[in-house]
Amino acid sequence: MYACVYSAGSPGPVLAAIAQQFSPRYETRGDLVVVDVRGLDRLFGDARAVGDELRREAADRGVRVHVAIASTQTAAVVLAIARPGVVVVERGKEAEAIAAVSLQILGGPALVRGPGLSGPADGDGDPERVAPQLEMFRRWGLKTLGDLAALPADELSSRMGQQGLTWHAIARGVEARPLVPDVEDERFEASLELEWPIEGLEPLSFVLTRLLEPLSLRLEQRDRGVAVLHVQLRLVNKETYARRLELPTPMRDVKTLRTLALLDLEAHPPAEHTIGIDRVGIVIDPTPGRVWQHTLFARPHPTPEQLSTLLARLGAAMGQDRIGAPVLVDTYRPGAFGTAPFATVHDDHRGMGRTGRMVEHTEPPRPPHPAPTAPALRRCRQPVPAVVALSDSGAPIKVITHRRGFAGGAVLRAVGPWKTSGDWWTDGWDRDEWDVALSDGASYRVFLDRASGGWFIDAILD
């Protein structure tokens, strides 16, 4: 048995508070709430007594409601909206009870936007699109839900699609979907008051393990993972030091979470790190658990826990601003790049297109004749200073450098210059680039930095 409590304009939390007094299984749908009242007859009596108690509880909270009790949610919802007071429908008479209800109820917000009662999520539940379809029913001569229920389901589906089948089910009072009980947002947090203050990361690791183990078990039971980990330390001087760790992928492994927290505290210790800690708290922002589908042909990769630990160790050793994935920047400056935080993409299916279909990778057709190969350019991450002698025309005639591993000599052939400039809206940069072949067999790309007037070897031509 299901009871529907309806009050136009009442907020969902108020109706949810009423439902909580009777059953833990309830679902709020806008300005109504559906409650599973099976078994309440042992406490209150028959179904009408249960309805009277629901209405009395609402009146005590200052809310006027309609209550309907039926064996299906659909019938209870329709009757609660259509009829005031308390309505009880016997099992098997749902279609008869709602047959006289006007078809206009299908355009109401509770049925149009109600989950599972509005049809597919392609816009058919939009009230603006429902109105023309209800007008079609009027032209067919239909006035009540009983008239709609008398139509053949297959004929209605051929003319109105899935939405027609959904409304036909509502008109017959059958279930459109099962009850989906509301679940309160569960907080995953734990704290521990220490009898004696602790100092250092080693004793803190034992406390973190003690706090994380029950939290990890609860996360596993709820199929949740840690998205953000908050570590709160209360110092002896009553100040609170908090750290926030955003994890690249959901995880709940105790050892990994403890290691990440300790590495973050090692890299960012409190300003007064010599003062002891007398309270440790953990707060977790949960997220749905990680779903990882392995493939037969993909090579095994490190787990997200291993990658997260590695990134945390690198960040603690080098600084968070010195690690990341290279990204292109909006500039023509040679060698310019930026970094972005690493993100572990655990559900990256190789070979999947944007539409979710497998994309067939085929080899490009080979040319009939081998294409000429261009020389490889091995760029120097830091340009090598050099001394360049110029001819009267401004072309390089000799290149000398004292850097080990780089040769020097007379220029046998020079191509250039290629003048480049950019970032004129800031400091600007200008350079003249030359490709030179030296007498000792080496080939370089050299450039003149106009700002400093110095010459540099930018790359090696192989």
| Alpha-carbon distances of 345 from 70, 290, 456, rounded to whole Å | 47, 10, 40
Pick the CATH number of 2-172 from 3.40.50.1110, 1.10.10.10, 3.30.70.270, 3.30.950.10: 3.30.70.270
d(CA 52, CA 5): 11
Residue 425 tokens read as 């809206």
Question: Which residues sit opposite 188 in a β-bridge?
Answer: 284
Does domain 185-292+303-345 sit in CATH 3.40.50.2300?
Answer: no
Residue 128 backbone phi and psi in degrees, to 5: -65, -30
Give the pLDDT score at 210: 92
Q: What is the pLDDT of residues 402-428, one digit of tens each?
A: 888 787 888 888 888 888 777 666 666
Q: What is the pLDDT of residues 177-208, one digit of tens each?
A: 788 887 777 788 899 998 888 888 888 999 99
Mean per-residue pLDDT over the chain, rounded? 79
pLDDT at 350 > cutoff 80: no
Q: What is the pLDDT of residues 381-403, one digit of tens each?
A: 788 898 888 888 888 888 888 88
Give the pLDDT score at 349: 39
Dihedral of CA 22/26/28/32: which sign?
negative
**Contact 383/433 with Cβ under 8 angstroms?**
no
Give the pLDDT score at 114: 47
Give the pLDDT score at 6: 86
Q: What is the pLDDT of residues 237-262, one digit of tens each?
A: 888 889 998 887 788 889 889 988 98
Which pLDDT band, with edges at 50, 70 and 90, does 230 fall under?
very high
Give the pLDDT score at 280: 92
d(CA 69, CA 88): 5
Amino acid at 87: V
Give the pLDDT score at 117: 44
Helix pair angle (254-267, 201-221), 10° resolution? 140
Give the CA radius of gyration of the chain.
Answer: 36
Question: Where do the domains of the chain lie?
Answer: 2-172, 185-292+303-345, 377-461
Q: What is the pLDDT of residues 64-120, one digit of tens each?
A: 889 899 888 888 888 888 888 888 988 888 888 888 888 888 876 556 444 444 433
Distance of CA 391 to the CA centre of its chain: 62
Average pLDDT over residues 307-314: 75
How big is the chain, counted in residues? Answer: 462
Give the pLDDT score at 24: 86
